[in-house]
Amino acid sequence: MKMAEKLKLISWRDIVFVALPSLLLAIGAFWLAAQYIKPAPPDRLVVSSGGDGGAYQIFAARYKDVLARYGITLVTKPSAGSTENLARLRDPAFEVDVAFIQAGTARLQEGDELFSLGDMYHEPLWIFYREAALGSSDNLLDLKGKRIAVGGPGSGTRHLAMELLAANGIDAKNSKLIEAGGQDLLGRLQRNQFDAVFVVGPTQSSLVWSLLYAPGVRLMSLTHAEAYTRRFPYLTRLVLPRGAIDLTQDIPSSDIHLVSPMATLLAREDMHPALIDLLMQAADEVHGEPGVFQKPDEFPRAGHGEFPLSPEAGRYYKSGKPFLQRYLPFWAATLIDRTVVMLLPLFVVLFPLIRFTPQIYGWRVRSRIYRRYGELKFLENQVNENPGRHARDEWLGKLDAIERDASTIRTPLAFTDMLYTLRVHIDLVREIIVRRTSP
């Protein structure tokens, strides 16, 4: 019974010697993989938009509808505009993931951890004025000495208006610059509280639309539009063709030259990559439509802003929707993406371990038998070279010691054939000793 148990005995020392390093290597591989995997994407995304009724809010509402199809809730936080949005992104205490930014209002600062998601659409500057105050004007210099609404505090409109007015020598010393914006601009303009108003936004903006149709209100065509784009590189010259707004009412009644910054999206560096992919898909659906100033699928695009382009956005512009999301629901695609990263160690580390660990274990067991073979061969050489060096009993005593040592080797059943072969060879050496030595 004891012999049977001995045959079944496993060398736990060899198992620990081989298994422990393998286990530590596998754990290390999984730990390394875990450093490159993001947690599951949250089901909530926070965007800082703009003022009530503004384009940023309109587009944020459309994003919300698209993201809801993927189970993501978009939380919209209204703001004064682009400048306040940027301040929110830079404030770690403010809960926001992404924000609309007007190009030209933001400069990259040291320590910024923000990425651009690209240009979303043209955001033209519209300068409306009371016809009774200016007659027909195509030059910003005509606004000197007038009452001008330059946009609300914290808005991108105010930033752009002040830059263009300053370029024309118009400031608070020679004109009345009023920080005002929002939906009541039209009413205040018609009530003679302003002579001109600056508005930044796409044609979809309800305020822009209302002003275009307002009686007694004219839209300024900028004679120096091209010059402004050279002085302010973030601006683009646009032409609003005659009748582009309304052919039946011939609005506008002539080609209008405008300047336009780009509306961009900025995201925090720690925003989940999967949410960036979804937001890019939403932007593609919302901004890819044709419009007065853009062709189909012209936007969104990578752009060349102050902030570096998000790697995920860059991949989207290059390859489109992630491969798995083309065929699987969002939750399934993200789950597989994360699982693949965790399974990578299985292919890189575990498979080689599974293949080579048994061989290493076998080598450990065989090495103990080979060591006795070395002792046996050394003894045989001594007998052959100088058999008279010891008496036969001394030679046999040395051989018996090797045999006793071999009998104590803890050998798993799979390796007992080598042990029996060793014993046969011990008997062969015993015959040599008997034959070569004298009693």
Domain spans, the chain: 2-31+343-436, 41-120+264-322, 124-260
State both tokens at 328.
Answer: 């699987």
Q: Nearest 10 degrees: CA dihedral of 323, 328, 331, 336?
A: -60
Rounded to an integer, what distance in angstroms lies between the CA atom of residue 79 and that of residue 58? 13
| pLDDT value at residue 388 | 81
DSSP SS3 for 245: coil
Closest CA to 168 of 148, 192, 194, 153: 148
State both tokens at 2.
Answer: 């004891």
E-only strand ranges, 108-242: 114-122, 125-130, 147-149, 176-178, 196-200, 217-219, 236-240
Contact (CB, 8 A) for 63 and 279: yes
Contact (CB, 8 A) for 195 and 180: no
DSSP SS3 for 292: coil
- pTM (predicted TM-score): 0.69
The superfamily (CATH) of domain 124-260 is Periplasmic binding protein-like II (3.40.190.10)
State both tokens at 418.
Answer: 């080598």
Considering just the CA atoms, what is the radius of gyration of the chain in Å?
A: 41
| pLDDT value at residue 252 | 94
Rounded to an integer, what distance in angstroms lies between the CA atom of residue 165 and that of residue 150? 9
- φ and ψ at residue 73, rounded to 5 degrees: -90, 125
E-only strand ranges, 213-261: 217-219, 236-240, 256-260
Rounded to an integer, what distance in angstroms lies between the CA atom of residue 50 and that of residue 102? 11
Query: Are 41-120+264-322 and 124-260 the same fold in CATH?
Result: yes
* CB-CB neighbours of 146 under 10 Å: 19
Contact (CB, 8 A) for 65 and 119: no
The superfamily (CATH) of domain 41-120+264-322 is Periplasmic binding protein-like II (3.40.190.10)
Contact (CB, 8 A) for 177 and 150: yes
DSSP SS3 for 48: strand
Rounded to an integer, what distance in angstroms lies between the CA atom of residue 325 and that of residue 328? 5
Rounded to an integer, what distance in angstroms lies between the CA atom of residue 209 and that of residue 247? 14
State both tokens at 324.
Answer: 């798995």
| pLDDT value at residue 350 | 65
State both tokens at 234.
Answer: 């973030």
| pLDDT value at residue 329 | 75
Rounded to an integer, what distance in angstroms lies between the CA atom of residue 37 and that of residue 33? 7
DSSP SS3 for 88: helix
**Count of positions (residues) in the chain:** 439
Which residues lie below 8 Å from residue 146, measured CB to CB, with a gap of 6+? 129, 133, 134, 175, 176, 195, 196
| pLDDT value at residue 393 | 83
State both tokens at 136.
Answer: 């027909």
| pLDDT value at residue 109 | 87
| pLDDT value at residue 49 | 92
| pLDDT value at residue 200 | 94
Mean pLDDT by 10 residues, the chain (439 residues): 46 58 66 61 91 88 94 93 94 95 89 93 95 91 96 92 96 95 91 95 88 94 96 95 94 95 94 91 93 91 88 90 72 64 64 68 74 84 84 84 80 74 84 80
